[in-house]
Each structure stands twice: as C-alpha cells, then as structure tokens.
Chains A and B, each alone.
Chain A
Amino acid sequence: AQTVTQSQPEMSVQEAETVTLSCTYDTSENNYYLFWYKQPPSRQMILVIRQEAYKQQNATENRFSVNFQKAAKSFSLKISDSQLGDTAMYFCAFCSYGQNFVFGPGTRLSVLP
C-alpha cells in the first residue's frame, strides 16, 4: 500500500521569506501523480500544485514550485515570497493511475507578519 509522510507537523516563516515543506512517499508504481493541497483555517481544501511522475521537469505555479526527486521518492513544496494568506494546513497527496488519493498527515504553516 502507498504511504505518504510529512515529517514537519508545524512550520513558520516570516512574510516575504521562502519556506520548503517536505513530503516523502512509498510506492512500487512507476506511473503516478503527486499533489499539494492547501486547507486554510475553516475553509475548504484547494489544489496548489500537481506533478506527473513521468515528467522530469518540476512543476511551478507562480510562487509555488516543487522539487520532485523520483528516485528518492521525495516531493517538497517551496513557497517563495510568503504571504499572510499562505497560512494553512498543507497536505501532500499521492495517487497512482486509476487509484484513490492517499494523503499525508499535513504540515501546519504559519506566516508571520
């Protein structure tokens, strides 16, 4: 069974600084997808970024980028120029083709003014 690990339960960063959230996963699959979802306080979960495992190029979305290391089964999220609105729980998720999502336990990120 696939598992997703997020080793940082809580992190904080100063506004405008850069922060990296870690995620590792375990799978024997070769084709799969990785996601970072954001869940702001009392608000619904939204997609931050998506990576297809067969693509070597790291995905980027504005201030958000990933460092995808397939051999190491690592998928970290970098947030540049952190903003107060980035304060949220961040969940790393994995799914292989035709299978359900498996979520990590989450990292609570606080952006400090």
Chain B
Amino acid sequence: GAGVSQSPRYKVAKRGQDVALRCDPISGHVSLFWYQQALGQGPEFLTYFQNEAQLDKSGLPSDRFFAERPEGSVSTLKIQRTQQEDSAVYLCASSLELAGGYEQYFGPGTRLTVT
C-alpha cells in the first residue's frame, strides 16, 4: 500500500511569509506526528494527533506554528511569519496508535528554506 506522503517536497519562503505543509498518512493509522529535523541532527517532536484530536503540542517552538487534522486523516502544519530559524526538514509520521510502541512510518519530509 501507499506510504506516508508529504507535499511540497521543497519550499522556499521569504522571511515573513506564511507556509502550509501537508501530510497524507497511511490509511487507517490513528496517530500522526510532526517532527522538525535540523541539518545533521535527529528529529525533534513538534506535535501529535490521535484521529482529529491534537493531544500534545508541547514541541511547537512558538505560537507561529499551528497544526490541524480536521477529519482525522490529512494533516497540515502551518507556519506563520516564517523566520530564518524555521529552516529545516519537517517530517510527518503515522502509526497504528501511540500506545504500545508501534512503529512510526515516516514520510519523505518537506525541506523548508527561509531566505
């Protein structure tokens, strides 16, 4: 079956612009995660959804970051008034559920460059 897909794969934004990053999880996966990965580093947790409910957003770095998953499937991560420090790869992952340490399946990521 299809894996996790993300779009766009690459995004260049001028400082101050708003961006929206999309994630299509594996069908039937309850849990969806967003991570931020700086160059040469490990993924850092941003936020987590179980179906349409955002259960944890403790990793969002500022109130400029907003995520939604209105119908419990596709998710969008929005960054308002982008800053240069927002430049990173944004990874989306999905899993059957959170409890039980299920494997997370990752998408290819969106590389955001803020100029």
Nearest residue in A to B47 (C-beta to C-beta)? Answer: A100
**Bound-state Cα–Cα, A97 to B102, Å:** 10
Q: B108 interface residue, CB < 8 Å from A?
A: yes
Q: B70 interface residue, CB < 8 Å from A?
A: no
Number of A residues, CB within 8 Å of B? 25
Q: A32-B101, A100-B48 are in contact. Are A105 and B56 (CB under 8 A)?
A: no
Number of A-B residue pairs, CB cutoff 8 Å, is 52
**Bound-state Cα–Cα, A67 to B3, Å:** 30
Q: B80 interface residue, CB < 8 Å from A?
A: no
B interface vs A, CB < 8 Å?
A: 3-4, 33, 35, 40-45, 48, 56, 91, 93, 98-101, 103-104, 106-109
**Could you show 6 A-B contacts with beta carbons less than 8 Å apart?**
A32-B101, A45-B106, A100-B98, A102-B45, A104-B42, A106-B42
A interface vs B, CB < 8 Å?
A: 4, 32-33, 35, 37, 43-47, 50, 52, 91, 95, 97-106, 108
